Amino acid sequence: MTIVSNKGVILKAIPKRTPKADEHFGLVHRTIDIKNLNLEKNELVLRNLYLSLDPYIRFTLKEPEPVQTDQTVPLKQSVPIGQVISGFGVSEVVKTNNLNYEVGDLVHAPVGWEEYSHIKSSIVPAITLIEKESLKEVPLNYYASLLKFGGLTSYASLIAIGKPKKGETIYISAAAGFTGQMVGQIAKIKGLKVVGSTGSDEKVDFLLNELKFDAAFNYKKNDLNTALSKYCPNGIDIYYDNVGGETLEVAIDHCNQFARIISCGMISQYNITNPKEKYGIKNLENIFIKSICMQGFLVIEYIGTEIEKDFEKEFFEWIKNGKIIYKENVHVGIENTAKGFVDLFNGNNIAYTLGALDYDMIKSVTINPHQIQFPYIAVIKHPPKI
């Protein structure tokens, strides 16, 4: 292994509305000479195995903004045109000049959408080692997001901002999305009444019959105000907002005194780039009339906190014991990564979306993929012939 293919997905054009795989993304054919690559102190070369295709990445596909000295949060940084898209993934260390990592180590890391990533020393602190021992209990791909930022996002925001109390009512929009599914299931475990909305009858059925939500409805077929009156007769104590816009406005009307709104995403507004076309929310007076707390968050806020420790203890057990159902779409091959990402915005996915860069390689490093006992359904897309 010396000079190998290192194809990458670049930003070809800034999407003004919903991104399209062919129009806004390009595949560049590059190579990397791993043997002769000179690594500075602490640097690594990673072979990327799984890429977590997350909606937040949409925000990095925009005109670069003037850098503000006080804003150093990496998730907000835009990707210049022609550059490889950034995200998080699971990777294998293939070359190291870092005493903390050996060749063959498996890590969760911020990487490019590319086959190999040359990790600069400034990025190394964001990398965490995946204990191989744990792979006897869960498959490797769970570390791309479920047991890392994806699961932590749902768990920490619900606990820290939502402050759920047994018997309260939570309403979750885009409830069949990955975060919605996790939040709903955690809320059920915590004793809440869980109500979710989603965009198809198939998904409603999934929420009700597989995830055991107390109520679920198709927002395309139901007036939201009527549905919330019906399914949340005691009002909403926690609104988990993945949607924003008019849904947020109606949910605010149904909020109880001291309600908490967890602002996780506003997918209804992401692809409207003209600020004047965005939906105007007219009932924010309720924030102070009802003493509502509406709060956004970054998952990195919770890294290293007590909440992360609780998450690692509780959530891992729930996953192992089958208390949480998790589905994923696996898009195999770097060529299919952009398509997997844009599929996030078409509303057809019921599962978490993962890019898997090489099916055979994944089989070889996923130590125990066939002895999984708990509910786990991978929907493999674009499978290579095997």
Q: Which is nearer to its own copies, 45 or 227 (CB)?
A: 227
Question: Which residue in the set 290, 320, 323, 382 belongs to the binding site for its own copies (CB under 8 A)?
Answer: 290
Among 44, 127, 146, 292, binds its own copies (CB under 8 A): 292
Query: Does residue 66 interact with its own copies by CB under 8 A?
Result: no
Choose one: 108-116, 182-190, 273-281, 342-350; the region binding its own copies (CB under 8 A): 273-281
- Residue from 77, 78, 97, 263 in contact with its own copies (CB under 8 A): 263
- Number of shown-chain residues binding its own copies (CB under 8 A): 43
Tell which one of 264, 319, 350, 356 touches its own copies (CB under 8 A).
Answer: 264
- Amino acid occupying residue 156: A
- Strand 169-172, strand 128-129: pairing: unpaired
Among 18, 77, 269, 273, binds its own copies (CB under 8 A): 269
Residue pair 137/40 in contact by the 8 Å Cβ criterion: no
Residues 25-64 that bind its own copies (CB under 8 A): 59
Round to whole Å and give the CA distance between 175 and 242: 8
Residues 145-184 that bind its own copies (CB under 8 A): none
Least separation, in Å, of the C-beta of 59 and its own copies? 7
Q: Is 256 in the site for its own copies (CB under 8 A)?
A: yes
Residue closest to 380 by CA, chosen among 360, 362, 354, 361:
354
Q: Would you say 62 and 85 are in contact if contact means Cβ atoms under 8 Å apart?
A: no
CA distance 45 to 95: 5
Of the candidates 209, 288, 283, the one whose C-alpha atom is nearest the C-alpha of residue 253 is 283
Judged on CB neighbours under 10 Å (0-12, 13-18, 19+), 65 is: exposed
Residue 51 or 294 having the CB closest to its own copies: 294
CB of 284 to its own copies, least distance (A): 6
Alpha-carbon distance of 125 to 85, in angstroms, equals: 20
Window of 20-28, 175-183, 256-264, 354-362 that interacts with its own copies by CB under 8 A:
256-264
For its own copies, which is the closer residue by CB, 51 or 252? 252
CA distance 322 to 324: 5
Alpha carbon distance 383, 360 (integer Å): 11
Residue (33 or 246) nearer to its own copies, CB:
246
Give me the residues paired with residue 116 across strands: 47
Binding site for its own copies (CB under 8 A): 59, 68-71, 73, 76, 234-235, 244, 248, 256-257, 263-266, 269-270, 275-276, 278-298, 301
